[in-house]
Amino acid sequence: MQDYQSKPVGELARQLQAGPMRLRKGYIDSAEALLGIIEPHLEYPCEFVVYRLTGYRSRRRASTGPVIGADLIPDLQHLILDVCDSLVLLTTDYDEAVFDTPSLAGKFGVSTKTIQRWRKGGLVARRMVFDNGKKRIAFLESSIRTFAKRRRRLILRSARFTRLTKTERSDIIRQARRMVSHSKCCLMEVSKRMAIKTGRAPETIRYTIRNHDRRKPSEAIFGDYAAPLENRDREVIYRCFLNGVSVISLAQRYGRTRGSIYRIVNEMRAGQLLERKIDYMFNPQFDLPGADESILTESPVEDPAAKSKRVHAPKGLPPYLASLYELPLMTPAKERWAFKKYNYLKFRADHLRKALDVNHVRSSLVRQIERSLAQAEVVKNQIIRANLRLVVSIARKHLHGSQTLFELVSDGNVSLMRAVEKFDYSRGFKFSTYASWAIMKNFARSVPKERYRLDRFVTGTEEVMDFVGGLAGYDSHACSLSELRDSLEVVLAQLSARERSIVVGHFGINSSGRTQTLEQISRQIGLSKERVRQIERGAMDKLRSMLKPISSDLMR
């Protein structure tokens, strides 16, 4: 089944394949007749397409919008092939000559690749069973006449094509080398200019130059193009593409064609998808036929007695946390539907990913996988937003000591996200029960640990300042302020660059003495506030292990 530009046409194709066998050949002929009148720049109602293919005129009001002609033309070509695959269509079923691809190429004296280009240009193809019993791409003589009438200049130009002589190839190489030495053009630009001068197709010029560079790398015109790009260059191309740099600019910068740049980008996207970990809760419904339609298009069946309740926010909450109570909770039916859709989208992405080949990447497949993962993230965010108030209510009960409510909520949100990924909706439990258990279990570990740390150790600022004070008390006459700063820098140098920047910024251990909040540091280095807090905690653990032996040695 081909990918259809228009969903209504794709649905119509599936219905025609399941229709009566005696009518399917008529559907194919009607689709070809419709292709003869479609204009790319016009729009056509779906009812018009259905009527022209089946003769059925619906009295219902249209539920879908019109189809653009530019999308309808390739969709009808795909529909013809799909319907052909649903029945046994013999060449003897038509009272006219039928050609396969090689015989048609021989009839016009062109290559089979030219026939493939003609198909993209509008030549209607069927898939039929020939005398040897094999099903192959076939072309009716009437289809060929119709195409020849509409694209006469294209056929004449293809028929006039002759192979390059050795003298012509030498002239192309010589002129291309001179053009590159004077104007530093890329292969794409050279091919276009040479095509105008020689009257040959740009693809022919490009192939001639590339073939020369491969056969004679020491005399290559585009040496950089002949050599494969390093991984670092490929990563730079991919990052530039994501940041909005045009493909033409990248092709000129690296001496490549636009197609090769797109191929590099798709290979990088495919590589990242293959390395990505996709976890989901499997359900046997996912393997059933028609799972896409039944799961992705269905709506949750709501119980009239079950209504989403709105709860007023407790008094004393900050405005941001109080706003979480404005979003209603999910009803049981909507919750089950959301988790089913979330896990199925990830299951489908993982299933499609198995067909990925980094060496032969299909951009349509990559887009399908990325779209499924993006849709799964949307559903996940909906579930999380509807249950954020749960984290706040549990965090308020564990609010003791120096930890703030925001820190506890931030820690609980991580547990909530993990709970969404691990929850199995098919067991019939409410998600709030499972999530409450996961959040409280996390608080049972983190809160006592934090209290022990606060009782056992002093705060980060006091610890660093105690170390500086210890150095000053060791020899206040011989130890200057610059020496103290040097000693402190020796200790901080044992941290990584990211850890050092966070500690120095948060505690103001610099020449300015200005402190920064974790939120300011997170925006500065491009990490989340929770991640910055975790890195700071790890850095302080390193400092403690270093400060303890140093201070004991100094006090001897």
pLDDT tens profile 364-390: 899 999 999 999 999 999 999 999 889
Percent residues over pLDDT 70 in the chain = 82
pLDDT of residue 550 exceeding 50: no
Alpha carbon distances (Å) from 302 to 305, 307, 331, 336, 378: 9, 9, 8, 11, 21
Work out the average pLDDT over 11-15. 90
Q: Is CATH 1.20.120.1810 correct for 284-448?
A: yes
pLDDT tens profile 119-168: 988 899 999 999 888 899 999 999 999 988 888 877 766 665 666 788 88
pLDDT of residue 342 exceeding 90: yes
Work out the average pLDDT over 167-189. 82
Rounded to 10 degrees, the C-alpha dihedral 517/521/523/524 comes to 140
In DSSP terms, 129 is beta-bridged to 90, 135
Contacts for 344 with CB less than 8 Å, ≥ 6 apart:
283, 285, 286, 291, 295, 296
Question: Hey, what are 87's tokens?
Answer: 């029945």
Banded model confidence at residue 473, pLDDT cuts 50, 70, 90? very low
Q: What angle do CA 280, 286, 292 make, to 5 degrees?
A: 110
Banded model confidence at residue 556, pLDDT cuts 50, 70, 90? very low
The reported pLDDT for the residue numbered 303 is 62
pLDDT tens profile 445-471: 766 555 545 444 444 444 554 444 444
DSSP 69-112: HHHHHHHHHHHHHHHHHTS--BGGGSSS-EEEHHHHHHHHT--H
**What own/partner pairs with CB < 8 Å and gap ≥ 24 does 155-158 have?**
155/108, 155/118, 158/108, 158/110, 158/114, 158/118
pLDDT of residue 3 exceeding 80: no
Q: Which overall architecture, per CATH, does domain 460-554 show? A: Orthogonal Bundle (1.10)
Do 118 and 137 form a contact (C-beta atoms < 8 A)? Answer: no
The reported pLDDT for the residue numbered 549 is 41
The reported pLDDT for the residue numbered 216 is 84
The reported pLDDT for the residue numbered 515 is 82
Average the pLDDT over each of 91-100, 363-372, 412-421, 487-496 and give the range with the smallest value.
Answer: 487-496
pLDDT of residue 86 exceeding 60: yes
Of the candidates 279, 446, 309, 449, the residue with the CA atom closest to the CA atom of residue 389: 309
pLDDT tens profile 392-402: 888 888 877 66
pLDDT tens profile 65-80: 788 988 899 999 999 9
**What own/partner pairs with CB < 8 Å and gap ≥ 24 does 177-185 have?**
177/221, 180/221, 180/222
**Measured between alpha carbons, how far is 59 from 44 in angstroms, rounded to an integer?**
17
Q: What angle do CA 194, 195, 201 make, to 5 degrees?
A: 140
**Measured between alpha carbons, how far is 205 from 202 in angstroms, rounded to an integer?**
5
The reported pLDDT for the residue numbered 5 is 85
pLDDT of residue 552 exceeding 80: no
Banded model confidence at residue 479, pLDDT cuts 50, 70, 90? very low
Mean pLDDT of the chain: 81
**Measured between alpha carbons, how far is 346 from 419 in angstroms, rounded to an integer?**
16
pLDDT tens profile 302-338: 666 656 566 677 777 778 788 888 888 888 889 999 9
The reported pLDDT for the residue numbered 418 is 92
* Residue ranges covered by each domain of the chain: 7-159, 166-274, 284-448, 460-554
Q: Which 3 state secondary structure label does DSSP give 453?
A: helix
Average the pLDDT over each of 39-43, 192-196, 227-231 and give the range with the smallest value.
Answer: 227-231
Banded model confidence at residue 229, pLDDT cuts 50, 70, 90? confident
Question: Hey, what are 531's tokens?
Answer: 């991640």
Contacts for 386 with CB less than 8 Å, ≥ 6 apart:
327, 328, 329, 330
Work out the average pLDDT over 72-90. 92
Same fold, 284-448 and 460-554: no
